[in-house]
Amino acid sequence: MLLYNYIKSLHLIFVATWFAGLFYIPRLFIYHIEATQKPSPDKEILSNQLKLMTKRLWYIITWPSAILCTLFAIWLLILMPVWLQQPWMHVKLAFVVLLFGYHFKCHQIFKQLQRDEVNYTSRFMRIWNEVATLILFAVVFLVILKNAFNWIYGVIGIVVLGILLMLGIRLYKRIQDKNPNA
C-alpha cells in the first residue's frame, strides 16, 4: 500500500505539471500569433523569444510530464487491475485519449509556429485553450465521484462550463476591442 501511495502521488504531480504545460502553451501560441502582426523589428524579436519559450516549455516540462504521468498511471493500473473493470475508469481513459489528441494537436501547432507558419487566429487559440480545462473538469469529477457520478448532470455541467468559458472569451474580446492595450 505504501508503494501505491508513492506512485499515486507521483502520478498526480505529473498530471499537474502536464496540465500546467497544456494550459500555458496555447497562451504562448496566442502571443506568437499576435506578434506576427506587429511591425519589424518587434515582430522578429517577439517571434524569436516566443519560439524559445514555447520550445523550452514543450520539451522540458510538457512532454516529460505527459510521459511520466502516463508511466505512473500504467503502474497504478498494474497495482490495481480491478480498476479496469470499473465503468468510470473506461470513461476516464476515454478522456485521457482525448487529452492525448489535444496534446498531439498542440504539438502540431507548436511545430507550425516554430516554422513561422500561422494557420490559426488568436481568437481560435483562446477557445482552443479551454479544451484542456474541460477535460480536466471531466476527469477530476470522474475520479472523485466514480460510480456516484450522475452522467446526465455531468454532461450538463460540462456543457454549461463550456458555454461559460465561451462567454468569458467573448467578453474578453469586447474589452480588448475597446482597449487594445488590455
Residues annotated within the binding site for heme are: 11, 92
Q: How far is CA 105 from the centre of its chain?
A: 11
Annotated binding site, which residues? 11, 92
Cβ–Cβ under 8 Å, residues 76 and 18? no
Tell me which amino acid residue 43 is. Answer: K
The candidate with the shortest Cα–Cα distance to 30, out of 53, 60, 63, is 53
Cβ neighbourhood burial of 78 (10 Å; 0-12, 13-18, 19+)? exposed
d(C-alpha 139, C-alpha 35), whole Å: 34
